[in-house]
Structure 1
Amino acid sequence: MREYVHALVLSDTHGNAEAVKRVLDACPQAGYVFHLGDHVSDVRLIHENSRAHVVNVKGNCDPGEAVSEFEEVVIKGQKIILTHGHLLKVKFSYDRAFYYAQEHEAKAILFGHTHRQYCEYIDGIWMVNPGSAGESPGGEAEYATLLIGDMGIVPKLKKI
């Protein structure tokens, strides 16, 4: 029997504690929570309301935070890059994000910044933007989940 790790991906929470708690409640099985920036302060709330291992990066709205703008994690042999996306200029094109992931031999790159959900598999790399959990255009809490195993990564975009 294959074992998988569940991960929850949040971005752009912008201090919306209610939305963060709703998303955490919807994903109690998550072994990891990835926060992709814009209100790193919300990570404390995640720690208080989840037993998951939390990995986070800072976004363009997190100046002065002592947090990295890029992180790499390897789970079940799958390298995943976390970034907010502003340094890769994802509002203009996803090309830089793709090439960054390709150069670092990642299986997935997770980014936010645009407040728009996006998920595409390109040349062996998952490109995933969970949208905005705190300020989505439709007012819903947007997020993504990842199922990570030895054979690969399965992402899914979700809304509450």
Structure 2
Amino acid sequence: MKIGIASDSHGDTNALDVMLQHPAAADVEAWLFAGDIAMDAEYLEMVTDLPVIKVAGNNDWPMSRLEDTVLADLGDHRILLTHGHLYGVNFSTQNLVLAAREQAADIAVYGHTHVADLSIGEVTVLNPGSVARPRDASRGSFMVADLVQGQKPVVKLIRI
């Protein structure tokens, strides 16, 4: 199963359109949206007609009715999806990894920092960076992950 991972579009649906036009997004079967701005996840769902698993970000409060953290079972992987601000990801992903372990998740996805992160370990930690307002490069980014049963995910960071 191929999934797309995006975060921190901050109302820039044009950046989402550019992301969707990238060849790497062509075969995506579902999207994970790690928050900021919740309405953008609804836009993504509308224009792709694919499932979009989404969480609220720190800029979605108090308007969003989305959860702060969601568990998603895709393939034989359990994914903890969160924006990350409630786990202190600006300083470390340690609390996020602990939360994933407590929920028997082998993948933890977050956003918030606008900086891409791909750490393979007992828990694979993924941050797609910001599709619209990156802090680690001049171009926005997203990720695609191939989830193969019994294997670690194969993840690619894509700059748009």
TM norm. shorter chain > 0.5:
yes
- How far apart are residue 29 of structure 1 and its match? 1.0
Q: Which consecutive aligned stretches of 4+ in structure 1 deviate over 4 angstroms post-superposition? A: none
Partner of 2:2: 6
Partner of 1:50: 48
Partner of 1:74: 73
Q: 2:126 aligns with which of 121, 125, 128?
A: 128
Structure 1: segments with no counterpart, 5+ residues: none
Structure 2: segments with no counterpart, 5+ residues: none
> Which shifted more, 23-32 or 111-120?
23-32
Structure 2 distance, partners of 1:48, 1:104, is: 30
- Does the 8 Å CA contact 1:112/1:130 hold for their aligned counterparts? yes
Read off the aligned partner of 1:108 and give its amino acid letter.
I
Partner of 2:18: 22
- How far apart are residue 49 of structure 1 and its match? 1.4
Structure 2 distance, partners of 1:132, 1:32, is: 18
Partner of 2:105: 106
Structure 1 distance, partners of 2:101, 2:17, is: 34
SS in 1 for 2:58: coil
- How far apart are residue 141 of structure 1 and its match? 1.9
Read off the aligned partner of 1:7 and give its amino acid letter.
I
Structure 1 distance, partners of 2:72, 2:42, is: 20
Structure 1 distance, partners of 2:148, 2:59, is: 33
- Does the 8 Å CA contact 1:24/1:49 hold for their aligned counterparts? no
Corresponding pairs, count: 155
Q: Which one has the bigger helix percentage?
A: 2
Structure 1 distance, partners of 2:99, 2:156, is: 22
Per the normalisation by structure 1, the TM-score is 0.93
> Which shifted more, 108-117 or 25-34?
25-34
Structure 2 distance, partners of 1:28, 1:113, is: 25
Read off the aligned partner of 1:29 and give its amino acid letter.
D
Per the normalisation by structure 2, the TM-score is 0.93
Structure 1 distance, partners of 2:43, 2:76, is: 29
SS in 2 for 1:91: coil
